[in-house]
Every structure is written in C-alpha cells, then in structure tokens.
Amino acid sequence: MADHATDRRTAIAEVAPGIHRLSSYHEPWRSSINGYLLTGTEPTLISTGMRSHFDDTWNAIARVLDPSTLRWIVILHFEADECGALNEFLARAPHAETLASMRAAMASLADFAVRPVRGVGDGEAIAAGERTLRVIDAPYVHAWDGIMLVEERTQIAFTGDLFLQPGHLDAIIRDDRSSLSVQLYRTFYGTPPEVPLQRVLDRVEASAPTLLAPGHGSVLAGNLAPYYRAYRQSVSALAALRPLAEGTRPRRSVDDDASPRAPSLNRERD
C-alpha cells in the first residue's frame, strides 16, 4: 500500500480499517518519523511527531477527520519525534487528553505539557471508544520511559523504536527486512540491556499481532517470525560475548582499590 503524500514531508495511508500511518521523512536520520491515527468515537493519535512537522501532520489528519476532535494522544516515550508537537495539538484539540508511561508523565511531561498528563501502567487497558489499547511496559528497549501498545480489535502492535527500518518505503511491506532492522537498531541505539529487550519481545510476540507498527519505517505485515528471531539472535550473540569481554579486563589488586595515600611527612635524614 503506497503512502498518499499531502506535501513533500507528510504522508498518510490506511494500514488497517480505521488505522492510519502518518509519515514524515526525516533526511538526517534517513528514515521516516511515524505517528498513527485511530478513528472512531474517540479519535486517538499515537505519537505527535516533531514540532517542525506539526502543520503538515495536522493537515494530513484533516484528510480523515477534524483534528480538533482528537480525544486521546498517547506518547510512547519522551523524545522530540514522539511528542515535539504535543502542545501544538493540545492548543487546537481542546478535549484531547495525553497518556504516557508513569515515568514519562512524572519526570518529563508534567513540566513539558501545557495540560495534565495521565500515567498508564503495564498491562493497563486504555478504553478509547470502541477500541482498547493494551499497554506493554518497555523501559530501556529504547528510552528508559518507554511503552508499547496493542490495539486489541485489530491486534496491531505499536512498537515505538523497535522493528524500525531505514528509507522511505511503502506504508506496509511484507518482505523480510529483519536483518536490516536489527542493524539499524544497534546503529542508532547501541546495545540495549538484554533482559528488558527479551521480555518485550516475548510480550509482543505473545500478543499475536497482525501488524508491527514501528515509529520509523514501514508497517510490517506477513510472516513476522523473522523479526522476533533476528532480535533474539542479536541478544543471544551479545550475551555470549559478555563473558569474553569481562575475561579480558585486567585484574585489579587490593592496592588498586585503596584510597590514594598521602605523601609522607617524614624525610630521610642525611
């Protein structure tokens, strides 16, 4: 399914009934910045995109519904590409309420947002009209305050910065880009803690999603098993290398851990 561009930066495409991918290509990152619009009796926006893209994003949403009627704005973690345009949306969508992880709400958004932000917890069900969004706590998979969501009617998983890909491709792809996804993930974010990433992979796979909807790149459809496998293999490879890395560290003596000694005040006598 191809994107339908509203201008040179923003595109919108329906990737499932009533669920639209909003995409702005960001040249410095060589990838797209994605948000997701969920229509219904309580329209929901997952991720606002950058403040510099606000007008384009607003106009893209307006092709589907009146953006001022947004009821929920969900922030998956606190970064410019996730919530840079939050206050602009709040200023023009008077009934919109912001949701984020407890950590993001207390540590960042409570000061950043112009209206109160509600924190949501792991496993919580967000009732958004006829839709239910299930929260998966995802700290340190990318950001320390991250969450992911599963829309339970369509079984679409909104995975933030997990399963990302480079480039400016179609809204949905079915070919296997798992190796490239892992490579880009490690290039952008380095080495994540093994336990949080393994836990989130298990949770996402157990939800049996029909689509993986990341914050960067195309929505992933078809056989999703290669993505889970590639990320798990990456984690396993890092875990196997850790003992070798630790074994090469120089051994420290007791004196190495001692506090620096003050110079002696005694001088040798002639």
What does the buried/exposed string (b/e) look like for 67-81 if buried means 16 or more CB atoms within 10 Å of the residue's CB? Answer: beebbbbbbbbbbeb
Report if residue 264 sits inside a domain.
no
Q: In this structure, what are the phi and psi dihedrals at residue 237, rounded to the nearest 5 degrees?
A: -65, -40
At 214, give phi and psi (nearest 5°): -85, 170
The answer to the question of residue 161 being in a domain is yes
Residue 92 lies in a domain: yes
Residue length of the chain:
270
Q: Which residues contact 25 (CB under 8 A, 6 or more apart)?
A: 9, 31, 32, 33, 168
Q: Evaluate whether residue 127 is within a structural domain.
A: yes
Give the number of other CB atoms < 10 A from CB of residue 65.
Answer: 14
Structure tokens at 183: 């490579």
Give the number of domains in the chain: 1
Say which residues have a Cβ less than 8 Å from residue 225's Cβ, sequence separation at least 6.
none
pLDDT tens digits, the chain, 270 residues: what are they? 444 443 447 899 999 999 999 999 887 777 899 999 999 999 999 999 999 999 999 999 999 999 999 999 999 999 999 999 999 999 999 999 999 999 999 999 999 999 999 999 999 999 999 999 999 999 999 999 999 999 999 999 999 999 999 887 799 999 999 999 999 998 887 777 789 999 999 999 999 999 999 999 999 999 999 999 999 998 877 655 555 445 554 444 444 444 444 333 343 333
Q: Are 77 and 211 in contact (CB under 8 A)?
A: no
- 262 is a domain residue: no
- Token pair in block for residue 79: 């970064």
User: Does 73 map to a domain?
Assistant: yes
In this structure, are residues 192 and 141 in contact, taking their beta carbons and an 8 Å threshold? yes
- Please list, residue by residue across 214-240, b when 16 or more beta carbons sit within 10 angstroms of its beta carbon and e when fewer do: bbbbbbbbeebeebbebbbebbeebee
Classify residue 125: in a domain, yes or no.
yes
CATH code (residue 105): 3.60.15.10
Q: How far apart are CA 142 and CA 270, in angstroms?
A: 66
Domain of 119, in residue numbers: 4-247
pTM for this structure? 0.86
In a domain, 267, yes or no: no
Say if residue 86 is exposed, middle or buried (CB neighbours under 10 Å; 0-12, 13-18, 19+).
Answer: buried
Residue 18 corresponds to which tokens in the numbers above? Answer: 């009533």
